[in-house]
Amino acid sequence: MAFTKNYRTPAQLTAYARAAFRLHVESFEIAGLLPLEASPTLNYSVNVGKSVLPAAASFRSWNTESEVGELGGGQTAEGKLPPISIRIPVDEHQQLSMMGLEDAIGGAFEKRAQRTAQAVGSRLVLAGVEALVHGRVTIQEREMNVVIDFGRKAAQSSVAPTLWNATGADPVADLDGMRAVMGKGISSVIMSRAILSLLQTNEEIIKLVTQRGSDLPSRVSEEDVRSVLRDWGYGEVRVNEQTIVNRAGVEQTLFPADRIVLLSGSQFGSTLTGVTAEAWAPENGISRAEAAGLFSGATHTHDPEGYNVLVSAIALPVVQSPDNTATLKVA
């Protein structure tokens, strides 16, 4: 595919696309948990059940050789990063309406590169949330039908015995049970505002807050709930109210409103962006050192006369320590 250098070159559009992509993705909480990482390959590799961090090194005695380390161990899951691309036209009428206004047409190219880069970013954010919540990413679109499973233990996707909007629910007991399944400490719990409200009116939580079993208030404060969960070893309560536009063009909550996500640690993998074929082509002006990441360029069409501004990527959120995450349906 030949990319035009009219109005904006591929290198210029790629710079606009990458800046918009990073700014968009990093506006969501998921970016701190699965940060963006440029990858020089088209593959991913996950050590199932292992930490994202390496094993600690060993001391050695004087005058002995260094130990031989390793990148990982145990069962390995591997696969290829999938492609994703989208284009927006600068059509015949739009060109004619801006005739003679070179900067205006160039600005239209830039805007389309930015918008399509944001669309790619939104899909990767949605995939990253799915990976953390369910331990897998499902792709059923554009003739692709695949489930990328990161190998999280099945018991770490569960349902509370009594949902928290029902009488008799005991949230702390449910959290204790999931912590026992995970077998490690919990650093934070992600939940919706609606679930936090359920905890504020839950009888067992209110008893823990007031330290009595009768004459209870109907509701306790948000800080009371946070304090109780901290005292019981559940770290930070992270109420996420962010929304994102999905593939159907509908705005939805970033994290499911009926589930909580339990996290052990602070980083669980990365969102990999590989090298596209377009970025590798020397005529497009992207240096080999900067080839990994999004690519954007415009193609010239003649029937009808116009341009298509393309953004393309090879990318996937990859959870490298899936057993440090768990989800519990509570509503």
User: Does residue 117 register a pLDDT over 60?
Assistant: yes
Look up the pTM and report it. Answer: 0.88
User: For residue 317, what are the β-bridge partners?
Assistant: 271
How deeply is 29 buried, as exposed, middle or buried, from its count of CB atoms within 10 A (0-12, 13-18, 19+)? middle
In this prediction, residue 127 has a pLDDT band, given cuts at 50, 70 and 90, of: very high
User: What are φ and ψ of residue 136, in 5° steps?
Assistant: -160, 165
Exposure of 114 in the CB half-sphere (CA atoms within 13 A): 11
* Residue 96, SS3 per DSSP: helix
Average pLDDT, the chain: 90
User: Does residue 76 register a pLDDT over 70?
Assistant: no
User: Does residue 123 register a pLDDT over 60?
Assistant: yes
- pLDDT (average), residues 269-283: 94
Q: What sign results for the dihedral spanned by CA atoms 279, 33, 329, 148? A: positive
In this prediction, residue 45 has a pLDDT band, given cuts at 50, 70 and 90, of: confident
pLDDT digits (tens, 9 = 90+) for 56-73: 888 888 878 888 766 554
- pLDDT (average), residues 27-54: 81
Residue with tokens 């792709």: 139
Domains present along the chain, CATH in parentheses: 10-51+76-151+268-321 (3.15.30.10), 155-239 (no CATH)
* Share above pLDDT 70 across residues of the chain, in percent, rounded to a whole number: 90
Alpha carbons 291 and 276: distance in angstroms, whole number: 8
Residue with tokens 């949902």: 163
Give the pair of three-digit tokens for residue 52.
């994202």
In this prediction, residue 78 has a pLDDT band, given cuts at 50, 70 and 90, of: confident
pLDDT digits (tens, 9 = 90+) for 251-273: 999 999 999 999 999 879 999 99
Lowest mean pLDDT among 28-37, 93-102, 210-219, 243-252: 93-102
Give the pair of three-digit tokens for residue 107.
């600005």
Residue 307 contacts residue 299 (beta carbons within 8 Å): yes
User: Does residue 100 register a pLDDT over 80?
Assistant: no
In this prediction, residue 95 has a pLDDT band, given cuts at 50, 70 and 90, of: low
DSSP 167: T
- Of residues 130 and 6, more confidence is placed in 130
**What is the strand order of the sheet 236-239 is part of?**
157-159, 325-329, 259-263, 188-191, 236-239
What pLDDT score does 51 carry?
56
User: Does residue 189 register a pLDDT over 60?
Assistant: yes
Q: What angle do CA 35, 122, 9 make, to 5 degrees?
A: 90
CB-CB neighbours of 280 under 10 Å: 12
What pLDDT score does 257 carry?
94
